[in-house]
């Protein structure tokens, strides 16, 4: 950690400008706009995405309340939702950040191209493969870390964010995150520590994945068992 950054953080220890989790989500999970590209029919894929469905859920920290209510009482036919792509905390992930630990408790660290993926192949192998292809074909150049997605991982990340409320109904999901960091849920979680350029790269990848999924001539194939939506989640 750089000394000047440490001193700035030290001065903020007593300043509750915003709660750590809210700060992480406020700055880490939102899309960063970029100029719209045009499809062959002249429509912007961004407009298509708006029509095909964006959702912002509330009360995740209270127990996934918003996403659970929506998936239990959807405003569109549930079987019309072909996939759910979830971003949360995508603004950090530097080499100085401990982004999590492996199932065997080995520390994980980020880097300039770092991105964690959770759940991308748990229901649909095709979705996981598609994301890898988009990352390569679109020259996004992100390095995917799947360590937090290990079966039986004690952090249980697969069950702890809004994507799972879709997955329990058999809807393929992927959780995109740059992982934890030392300011997680702390009053020091300030916007000045966000890597906005990296966050834009993540948002660009997720947009391209969404467009690719929407443009398929079929639903992404679910080739793994669908869970019981009323049963407890286990990673």
**How much is the mean pLDDT over the chain?**
80
Q: What is the pLDDT of residue 57?
A: 75
DSSP state of 25: H
27 pLDDT exceeds 70?
no
Nearest Cα to 88, choosing from 208, 202, 209, 233? 202
150 pLDDT exceeds 90?
yes
Q: What is the pLDDT of residue 218?
A: 94
Contacts of 133 (CB under 8 A, 6+ apart): none
Q: Which residue has the higher pLDDT, 55 or 100?
A: 100
Q: What is the pLDDT of residue 169?
A: 96
219 pLDDT exceeds 70?
yes
Asked if 190 and 12 count as a contact pair (C-beta separation under 8 A), the reply is: yes
Percentage of the chain with pLDDT > 70? 74
Q: State the Cα–Cα distance between residues 99 and 221, nearest whole angstrom.
A: 31
DSSP state of 133: H
Nearest Cα to 187, choosing from 60, 24, 29? 24
Q: Which residue has the higher pLDDT, 57 or 210?
A: 210
Please indicate, yes or no, whether the overall pTM of this predicted structure exceeds 0.85. Answer: no
Sequential DSSP letters for 44-82: -HHHHHHHH-------STTTSHHHHHHHHS-SS-GGG--
Mean pLDDT computed over 155-181: 95
Q: State the Cα–Cα distance between residues 134 and 129, nearest whole angstrom.
A: 9
Q: What is the pLDDT of residue 198?
A: 96
Q: What is the pLDDT of residue 176?
A: 97
Q: What is the pLDDT of residue 21?
A: 34
Mean pLDDT computed over 44-49: 44
82 pLDDT exceeds 90?
yes
Q: State the Cα–Cα distance between residues 161 and 177, nearest whole angstrom.
A: 11
Sequential DSSP letters for 178-217: ----TTTTSTT--GGG--HHHHHHHHHHHHHHHHHHHHSS
């Amino acid at each position: 950690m750089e000394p000047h950054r440490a001193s700035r953080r030290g001065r903020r220890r007593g300043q509750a400008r915003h709660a750590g989790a809210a700060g992480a989500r406020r700055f880490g999970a939102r899309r960063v706009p970029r100029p719209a590209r045009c499809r062959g029919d002249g429509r912007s894929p961004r407009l298509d995405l708006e029509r095909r469905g964006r959702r912002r859920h509330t009360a995740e920290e209270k127990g996934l309340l918003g996403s659970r209510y929506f998936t239990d009482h959807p405003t569109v036919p549930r079987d019309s939702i072909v996939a759910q792509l979830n971003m949360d905390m995508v603004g950090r992930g530097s080499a100085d950040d401990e982004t999590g630990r492996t199932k065997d408790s080995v520390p994980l660290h980020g880097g300039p191209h770092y991105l964690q993926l959770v759940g991308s192949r748990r229901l649909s192998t095709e979705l996981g493969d598609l994301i890898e292809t988009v990352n390569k074909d679109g020259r996004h150049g992100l390095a995917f870390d799947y360590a937090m997605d290990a079966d039986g991982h004690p952090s249980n990340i697969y069950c702890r964010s809004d994507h799972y409320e879709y997955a329990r109904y058999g809807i393929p999901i992927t959780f995109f995150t740059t992982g934890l960091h030392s300011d997680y849920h702390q009053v020091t979680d300030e916007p000045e520590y966000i890597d906005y350029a990296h966050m834009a790269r993540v948002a660009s990848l997720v947009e391209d994945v969404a467009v690719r999924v929407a443009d398929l001539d079929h639903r992404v194939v679910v080739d793994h068992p669908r869970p019981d939506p009323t049963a407890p989640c286990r990673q």
